[in-house]
Amino acid sequence: MEFGGLYIPWAFKPLAIAQVGLLALAYLAYVGPLRRRLAGPDLLWVYPVHGWQVGCFLLGLFLILAFEATPLDELASRYSFAAHMVQHLLYTTAVPILILLGLPAWLVRRLMSRVHKVLGWDFWGRVFRVVTHPLVGFGAFNVGLVFWHLPQYYGLVHESSFWHLAQHLTFLGTALLVWWPVLGPLPERRLGWLLRLGYLFGLSLIPGVIGAFITFSDHLIYGYYGTTPKPWGLEPMTDQLIGGLIMKVFGSVPLWVVVGVDFMVSFAREEGGIPEA
């Protein structure tokens, strides 16, 4: 595949394809034949699944596959810091949001009940309540974001595929936790809408600070990108500048979009006396 005059060959990644494929099949089985078997033909309304939810979940998985099992992953990890920032932005905003929007509440409760039966809920219930607490998700996400953008640790992704995978799993895993109190499928685990506004405001700060630091740097922070050719003949510093702007602007803008939409929807719901679904 060619990007701006830079040719990157395809590399077959069976593990990434298998993982995403199994998640997609498990989800489709649960919202399809297993749901019909669970409810019977007359009680499907008890376990509602909307077409847009299925579309959101599958689109989230497709984005993971598009950036993990195609030359876009190689472009991001070895040739273009800006492309890597786009990849990180997808893993911290678009993908977790789409996955959470695609999860029906009954499906999550069903899985939780299975864990309760198999492993016992006293311990795992406490673990679930702790890891989905807003402060835990907020702290884990921001610590991971800062850690992986420090030059000495960011450089690890160029040394082995293990660290590259660890970085992406950190971003995606902590992003799912940090978005859970805002968009999680269980209404009782979401923050009230005024708290959500403050939470999302705080969430927009760290990406903006890191992005500003990268954007206004007068030297190449991540030296590895100075040793590889760039698409469209970009200079390494220009590539870094674009990457910093992507993180500074687009790392915060989606949060403000969510804040605005959440405010309008929540205000209309409060005015109409409609409880959160």
User: pTM for the whole thing?
Assistant: 0.88
Rounded to whole angstroms, what are the CA distances from 189 to 132, 151, 233, 253?
A: 8, 36, 49, 25
The per-residue pLDDT for 36 is 78
The per-residue pLDDT for 98 is 94
Cβ pair 138, 203 in contact under 8 A: yes
Query: Per-residue pLDDT averaged across 244-258, rounded?
Result: 76
The per-residue pLDDT for 99 is 96
Rounded to whole angstroms, what are the CA distances from 130 to 21, 51, 103, 134, 250?
A: 30, 32, 20, 9, 30
Which amino acid, 199?
Y
Cα(223)–Cα(119) distance, integer angstroms: 47
Cα(67)–Cα(72) distance, integer angstroms: 5
| Domain layout of the chain by residue ranges | 2-272
- Give the DSSP letter of residue 4: T
What is the number of H-type helices and E-type strands within the chain?
15, 2
Higher pLDDT among residues 120 and 181, named by residue: 181
The per-residue pLDDT for 252 is 67
Query: Per-residue pLDDT averaged across 19-48, rounded?
Result: 82
Higher pLDDT among residues 69 and 38, named by residue: 69
- pLDDT tens per residue across span 231-241: 888 999 999 99
Cα(247)–Cα(69) distance, integer angstroms: 23
Cα(139)–Cα(254) distance, integer angstroms: 19
Cα(194)–Cα(192) distance, integer angstroms: 6
Torsion sign, CA atoms 173, 79, 60, 191: positive
Query: Per-residue pLDDT averaged across 190-206, rounded?
Result: 85
- Phi-psi region for residue 233, left (φ > 0), alpha (ψ -120 to 50) or beta? left
Percentage of the residues of the chain whose pLDDT score is greater than 90: 45
- pLDDT tens per residue across span 138-154: 999 999 999 999 999 99
Query: Per-residue pLDDT averaged across 56-75, rounded?
Result: 92
Cβ pair 176, 209 in contact under 8 A: no
The per-residue pLDDT for 188 is 85
Q: Which of 234, 210, 226, 214 is nearest to 92 (CA)?
A: 210
Q: What are the helix (H) ranges across 81-133?
A: 81-89, 95-101, 105-119, 121-131
